[in-house]
């Protein structure tokens, strides 16, 4: 099939009676226009233009091709306009799914930075654990997702947007709060903890890190809310390992005590995820760019670093 741009150029030559004027109309040089027409002639096996000192005109075959080309160019224009309208309609609503830590502590700042880009767009934010976020994105229930966890989600493209650090926290009255030495990884694995539910990126990260140190103890409680976990730890139910983002204020004002852990690195990656084979365009590209921005001011107490 002929290139649409070549057909448009042929129509312009017919309209203006000059290859040079047609070239200027399309913002290209006359040699480039001539080359485009010659390629079209070779493709079709027909002479389309007669050139003379007074200008250019279509051959009889060229005139017939031009008549057919008008329909093709018009149809291509309708296609382009329709796709643009669909894209605009789709971008009127941004569907985001995010893990609880990212949704509570990072997403609000990202949306503030994007407020100009999102001025005419509604944002639907779905908050869930990382496993559910992946399922939402796979099922087209979200345009983009943000997850925590140790692995690359299967069936999705992903990009690391930041790095987080987990913290072991206890109530001020807990014996570990007075320790001078870090808690050993094996000791932490054997200790019953207040944890997030299965599917949580925080829990998956902790289980993966502690797996070499023996079977993990049965949790004291499994809670789907980070706020509930913090309240339980503060009330003395037991220790917990949560994102440093979530406990920065409680540790700073003494309601919780952060305890160092030896033998293991409790860092983790935060990722943006989207369907495989789909390119990030428009506002989705902007969201990921803001999440990855390296120059955003940081609070060292949070332990979060951008790439």
Mark whether 151 and 286 lie in a shared domain.
yes
3 state DSSP class of 97 = strand
Q: How confident is the model at residue 94 (pLDDT cuts 50, 70, 90)?
A: confident
82: Cβ–Cβ under 8 A, 6 or more apart, which residues? Answer: none
The reported pLDDT for the residue numbered 283 is 83
Average pLDDT, the chain: 87
Q: What is the DSSP letter of 216?
A: P
Say if residue 295's pLDDT is above 50: no
Mark whether 52 and 158 lie in a shared domain.
no
Mark whether 301 and 238 lie in a shared domain.
yes
Say if residue 169's pLDDT is above 90: yes
Structural domains in the chain (count): 2
Q: What is the CATH number of the domain that holds 114?
A: 3.40.190.290
Say if residue 12's pLDDT is above 70: yes
| Alpha helices in 92-178, H assignment, sequence order | 100-105, 107-113, 130-138
Domain ranges, residue 16: 4-90
The reported pLDDT for the residue numbered 294 is 63
Mark whether 59 and 184 lie in a shared domain.
no
The reported pLDDT for the residue numbered 137 is 93
The reported pLDDT for the residue numbered 279 is 82
The reported pLDDT for the residue numbered 89 is 57
Mark whether 18 and 141 lie in a shared domain.
no
Say if residue 132's pLDDT is above 60: yes
Q: Which of 290, 176, 181, 288 is nearest to 241 (CA)?
A: 176
Please state whether beta strands 144-149 and 267-275 pair in parallel, antiparallel, or not at all (unpaired).
Answer: antiparallel
Q: How confident is the model at residue 296 (pLDDT cuts 50, 70, 90)?
A: very low
Q: How confident is the model at residue 228 (pLDDT cuts 50, 70, 90)?
A: very high
Single out the residue in 37, 67, 90 at which a domain terminates. Answer: 90
Say if residue 261's pLDDT is above 50: yes
Single out the residue in 58, 90, 122 at which a domain terminates. Answer: 90
Work out the average pLDDT over 116-137: 84
Mark whether 148 and 233 lie in a shared domain.
yes
Q: What is the DSSP letter of 301?
A: G
Mark whether 47 and 124 lie in a shared domain.
no
Say if residue 302's pLDDT is above 50: no
Q: How confident is the model at residue 75 (pLDDT cuts 50, 70, 90)?
A: confident
Mark whether 215 and 291 lie in a shared domain.
yes
Mark whether 98 and 145 lie in a shared domain.
yes
Crossing angle, helix 4-16 and helix 30-44, to 10 degrees?
110
Q: Which of 29, 31, 30, 37 is nearest to 5 (CA)?
A: 37
Phi, psi for 31 (deg, rounded to 5) = -60, -40
Q: How far apart, in whole angstroms, are the C-alpha atoms of residue 60 and residue 75?
A: 24
Mark whether 168 and 41 lie in a shared domain.
no
Single out the residue in 90, 108, 137 at which a domain terminates. Answer: 90
C-alpha distances in Å from residue 89, one per residue of 82, 139, 285: 11, 20, 17
Say if residue 220's pLDDT is above 90: yes
Work out the average pLDDT over 81-90: 65
| Alpha helices in 182-262, H assignment, sequence order | 185-190, 201-210, 226-234, 244-252
Say if residue 214's pLDDT is above 70: yes
Give the percent of the chain with pLDDT over 70.
92
Q: Which residues of 5-34 are buried (b: 16+ CB within 10 A; e: fewer)?
A: ebbbbbbbbbebebbebbbebeebeeeebb
- 14-18, 229-233, 300-304: which has the minimum mean pLDDT? 300-304
Mark whether 80 and 217 lie in a shared domain.
no
Q: What is the CATH number of the domain that holds 73?
A: 1.10.10.10
Residue 31 in tokens:
């040699």
Say if residue 190's pLDDT is above 70: yes
Q: How far apart, in whole angstroms, are the C-alpha atoms of residue 242 and residue 41?
A: 68
Work out the average pLDDT over 31-59: 88
Work out the average pLDDT over 55-83: 86
Q: How far apart, in whole angstroms, are the C-alpha atoms of residue 274 and residue 137?
A: 6
Q: How far apart, in whole angstroms, are the C-alpha atoms of residue 74 and residue 82?
A: 12
Mark whether 67 and 124 lie in a shared domain.
no
CB 191 within 8 A of CB 259: no
- 74-78, 135-139, 261-265, 278-282: which has the minimum mean pLDDT? 278-282
E-only strand ranges, the chain: 49-52, 55-58, 93-99, 122-128, 144-149, 156-170, 194-196, 221-223, 240-243, 257-259, 267-275, 305-306
Say if residue 120's pLDDT is above 80: no
Say if residue 305's pLDDT is above 60: no
Work out the average pLDDT over 89-116: 83
Q: How far apart, in whole angstroms, are the C-alpha atoms of residue 307 and residue 291?
A: 10
């Amino acid at each position: 099939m002929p290139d649409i741009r070549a057909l448009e150029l042929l129509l312009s030559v017919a309209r203006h009676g000059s290859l040079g004027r047609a070239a200027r109309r399309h913002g290209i040089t006359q040699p480039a226009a001539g080359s485009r027409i010659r390629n079209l002639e070779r493709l079709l096996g027909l002479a389309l233009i007669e050139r003379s000192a007074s200008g250019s005109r279509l051959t009889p075959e060229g005139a017939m091709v031009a008549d057919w080309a008008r329909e093709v160019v018009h149809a291509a224009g309708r296609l382009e306009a329709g796709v643009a309208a669909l894209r605009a309609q789709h971008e009127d609503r941004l569907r985001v799914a995010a893990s609880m830590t990212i949704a509570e502590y990072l997403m609000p700042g990202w949306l503030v930075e994007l407020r100009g880009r999102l001025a005419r767009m509604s944002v639907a934010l779905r908050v869930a654990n990382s496993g559910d976020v992946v399922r939402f994105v796979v099922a087209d229930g979200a345009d983009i997702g943000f997850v925590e966890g140790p692995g690359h989600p299967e069936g999705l493209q992903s990009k690391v947007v930041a790095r987080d650090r987990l913290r072991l926290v206890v109530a001020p009255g807990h014996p570990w709060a007075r320790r001078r030495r870090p808690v050993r990884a094996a000791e932490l694995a054997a200790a019953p903890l207040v944890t997030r539910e299965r599917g949580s990126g925080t829990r998956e990260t902790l289980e993966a890190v502690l797996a070499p140190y023996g079977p993990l103890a049965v949790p004291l409680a499994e809670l789907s809310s980070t706020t509930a976990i913090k309240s339980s730890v503060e009330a003395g139910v037991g220790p917990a390992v949560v994102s440093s983002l979530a406990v920065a204020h409680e540790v700073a004002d003494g309601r919780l005590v952060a305890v160092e852990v030896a033998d293991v690195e409790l860092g983790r990656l935060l990722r943006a995820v989207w369907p495989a084979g789909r390119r990030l365009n428009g506002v989705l590209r902007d969201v990921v760019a803001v999440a990855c921005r390296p120059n955003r001011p940081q609070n060292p107490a949070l332990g979060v670093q951008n790439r």
